[in-house]
């Protein structure tokens, strides 16, 4: 019951006061199955891209973080080909930084920040990470190409 009322509150807040460039909604009236869209930030290789995400809210939410993954392919050192995201707030301690005081809006904003500022020292995609570190021009070119190919409307 606590999960349902909290999710309703969070979704209503995401609808009335969404973070800039982020939208989130229920998928087919399933409270534990959400969808989100993040717009690629200006001055990033993801600019003008629209990225779709799936959010699965576990039974134990907010004591357990939601599982979030990209449905839109993205060229990024911290996001793998299955759309899984390497981000500390998406994992429980001791490895992660999830806290029940965080919410879906905070997580989506953190993912948006990660898109703009990749963390090449904690990669899911080692090859993209070393490209990001040692050949930034090629990384930017590839990321832009993927954005045009997969995230353009």
Residues annotated as catalytic are 86
Distance CA 139, CA 114 (A): 15
- In the 8-state DSSP scheme, what is residue 63? S
Instruction: Please provide residue 25's backbone torsions phi and psi, each rounded to the nearest 5 degrees.
Output: -150, 165
**b/e per residue, 115-137, with b = 16+ CB within 10 A?**
beebebeebbbeebbebbeeeee
Q: List phi, psi (to 5°) of 37.
A: -130, 135
Nearest to 114 by CA among 20, 40, 37: 40
50 has which bridge partners? Answer: 39
Q: With residue 25 as reference, give the H or E element that holds it.
A: strand 22-27
């Amino acid at each position: 019951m606590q999960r349902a009322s909290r999710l309703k509150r969070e979704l209503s807040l995401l609808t009335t006061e969404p973070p800039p460039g982020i939208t989130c909604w229920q998928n087919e009236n399933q409270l534990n199955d959400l969808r989100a869209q993040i717009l690629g930030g200006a001055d990033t290789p993801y600019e003008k891209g629209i990225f779709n995400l799936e959010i699965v809210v576990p039974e134990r939410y907010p004591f357990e973080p939601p599982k979030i993954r990209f449905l839109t392919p993205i060229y990024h050192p911290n996001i793998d080909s299955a759309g899984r995201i390497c981000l500390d707030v998406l994992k429980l301690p001791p490895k992660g930084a999830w806290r029940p005081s965080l919410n879906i809006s905070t997580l989506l904003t953190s993912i948006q920040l990660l898109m703009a500022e990749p963390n090449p020292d904690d990669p899911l995609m080692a090859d993209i990470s070393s490209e990001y570190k040692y050949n930034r021009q090629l990384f930017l070119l590839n990321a832009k190409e993927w954005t045009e190919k997969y995230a353009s409307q």
